[in-house]
Amino acid sequence: MSMRRLKFSVAGLVLLHLVVVSLHGIAHQRLGIDLQTWQRAFVASVIFAGPLVALAVLWTSPQELGAVLLAVSMAGSSVFGICNHFFLSSSDNVFFLRQSGWAHWFTATAVLLAIIETACFVWCVWTLSFERGNKQNIRKLRRDA
């Protein structure tokens, strides 16, 4: 698969992530699940803005830097979301919600976010290892020539 096709693929994942994050935020509001100040700052910077910045860097700068930024953003997003939605005892935990229409949206988007964020992280790790392997092969070819 060409790097251009991979860039378009990850751009699609990042845009899908932003749509699901937005829907999840609406579910938060409708259910009255407030975040603490530090959580709001984390969501705004790491979960929302981080992937956009990483995507811009991926398309305009060295690809490795963009992939590293996206990996860090998605790893942080994934850990934050999985811990808060599935493990920590709080109003943000999907297992403690009273089941209603918005609770179903909240749960579905929490699960989708975990999947998308993990997929983006795996894509970044794969891309970085692929790029590293290519660079090592090029160095080896130059050395052997």
The string of pLDDT tens digits covering residues 8-51 is 888 999 999 999 999 999 999 999 999 999 999 999 999 999 99
Question: Which letter, b or e, does each residue of 24-58 get, where b requires 16 or more Cβ atoms within 10 Å of its Cβ?
Answer: beebbeebebebeeeeeebbeebbbebbeebbebb
pTM exceeding 0.95: no
Round to whole Å and give the CA distance between 62 and 66. Answer: 7
In Å, what is the CA distance from 29 to each residue of 22, 25, 35, 47, 145?
A: 11, 6, 10, 17, 62
Choice between 1 and 113, residue whose per-residue pLDDT is larger: 113
pLDDT in tens, 86-134: 999 988 999 999 888 899 999 999 999 999 999 999 988 988 887 766 6
Structural domain spans, the chain: 3-144
